[in-house]
Copies of this chain bind each other. A is one copy, B any other.
């Protein structure tokens, strides 16, 4: 470690101009932090980029703390420098990165002509400015997360140093192999959890709840994962609870290491985990962890944007790629050893452009193995086109509204909700759909706010619509937030037709339960499923056409008669359908030698594996939970 740092010091000397005064060099998490007395001299970012490339490290240049103006003072200076018409809405300081983040309605004005104002700020306050557009909806959760991380910054700095030292430890093992143990989410949907292992490293990918049985967790007690504090890293592909819902539990069981995820995944994850606890509390079930463990986990998060290559252990580099499934969803690509092997985990992915996102990435520098989802991997799992799906949804809604009924759309808070919102907003704007209130219950409003905070994670068309055409579909006046049970009762008892989008998406808890219970017995109403219903969930039962369903009320079980219309509109899914799954392999520009299928019912995982083998002659497997596959 010390010797390694010495080598790095030499390199740094070689690259940086002599006038730059380096005070110290440290590892902080996966990053190399260079403390510089006069960072202004490094305004030419190219030098740092070249150094980073040569060292194959992420590099942060941080001003020597002495040369930084104190935050309050810096804030005043910035407000003086930046013209008022930039309309700055928020300024906050990211000490980890030595950055001051300036939120403004007109970011261009903060930057100034050819960056003149930007440079002036930097010279005056020491901090590097990062300028972002003020989100149109304020996210309470993002504010809370920022404030929390700021409040624990000293502890977090210690944590990052410890992680940095661990990542750059000396490797002693000569052997080379790569294997994956499947700990959950194999031949099933729910509790996704995979363990990537090399002789040197152990990396956990996802750690989700079982959507159809909240009391069953991934197989975290098997020896491969023990002791948890020996794991090198936890990597989260996206924020849905079946992929990240049990991450806080890892800290209960002794894990103390980092969680790698994209910035939107971090925020959505915290949102959904808090909601998970709240729903559990409301329903009187015993949640597997408490909110202080959510904070503990948050303290250990390290965010990575798409395309950023990062060392996460002595022999593993992680890069996230767009998965097209929900905001921030990522395909996690692992580069193992120096060119030894490359394996990617798709997580949930959509290989089709949607209203929100570009289709999943296919362009990897190298890829020997792929672990891919198979939710719609069955031979007949073809979805209609998005256009057809949208038309059908509008038709079903119009029909229901016309007969004076209410439309209930159960969705995950994140993903389908926003997709449906955009469709409804456009259809109302274009008068294809009768104008009516669209009630958003559960975490949907807050989730939408997070979407507006990360425009760079949306696709180009949507960004254009928002920023260049001034149309932000998320803030249409027809959308009404439901944030109290009195408001909910009001919506339910209001006799006029309306649309209700509510969580959870599979009717295994959440406000949708209350709506369903009251709307089910009126045949004018319609429930529309736009997302996957896992085996064992109430949603699946209703979808299958059960006329009476068991229903939990205050700890007892009632029977609810289902007289409302039950519709399933396929085609909105954030998952690839069979054709997209098969095409994904075809379009990969680096063909894998081995593919494992997971995250699907048993028959779908097996069928998809077999079809990929037959079509592409790629070795495939549909592993079971608790199995280990060796890849090389």
Contacts and interface: CB of A to CB of B under 8 A. Distances in A.
Interface of A: 177, 179, 181, 197, 199, 202, 221-226, 230, 624-630
Contact of A226 (B179, B202, B223, B630): B223
Contact of A179 (B197, B225, B627, B629): B627
Nearest to A186: B630
A63 to B, nearest CB: 43
Contact of A626 (B177, B226, B230, B624): B177
A195 to B, nearest CB: 9
B630 A630 contact: no
Contacts of A630: 624-627
Nearest to A226: B223
B223 A626 contact: no
14 contacts: A177-B626, A179-B627, A202-B223, A222-B224, A223-B223, A223-B226, A223-B230, A624-B630, A626-B628, A627-B627, A627-B628, A627-B629, A627-B630, A628-B628
Contacts of A627: 179, 627-630
Select the residue from A177, A199, A230, A628 with max chain B CB neighbours within 10 A: A628
A154 to B, nearest CB: 34
User: Which are the 6 A-B pairs with shortest beta-carbon distances?
Assistant: A628-B628, A626-B630, A624-B630, A627-B630, A223-B223, A223-B224
Interface of A is mostly: mixed
A624 B629 CA distance: 8
A226 B225 CA distance: 11
Contacts of A181: 628
Given A179-B626, A223-B224, 17 more contacts: A177-B626, A179-B627, A197-B222, A199-B221, A202-B223, A223-B223, A223-B225, A223-B226, A223-B230, A224-B224, A624-B630, A625-B630, A627-B627, A627-B628, A627-B629, A627-B630, A628-B628
Contacts of A197: 222
Contacts of A628: 181, 626-628
A175 B181 CA distance: 18
A255 to B, nearest CB: 15
Nearest to A195: B223
A624 B177 CA distance: 11
Contacts of A226: 223
A630 B602 CA distance: 14
Nearest to A626: B630
A367 to B, nearest CB: 20
Nearest to A628: B628
A226 B629 CA distance: 19
Contacts of A224: 222-224
A630 B187 CA distance: 13
A179 B627 CA distance: 8
A629 B182 CA distance: 11
Contacts of A625: 630
A628 B221 CA distance: 16
Contacts of A230: 223
Contacts of A221: 199
A626 B629 CA distance: 8
A207 to B, nearest CB: 17
Nearest to A173: B221
A191 to B, nearest CB: 14
A364 to B, nearest CB: 24
Contacts of A223: 202, 223-226, 230
A182 to B, nearest CB: 9
Nearest to A629: B627
Contacts of A222: 197, 224
A183 to B, nearest CB: 11
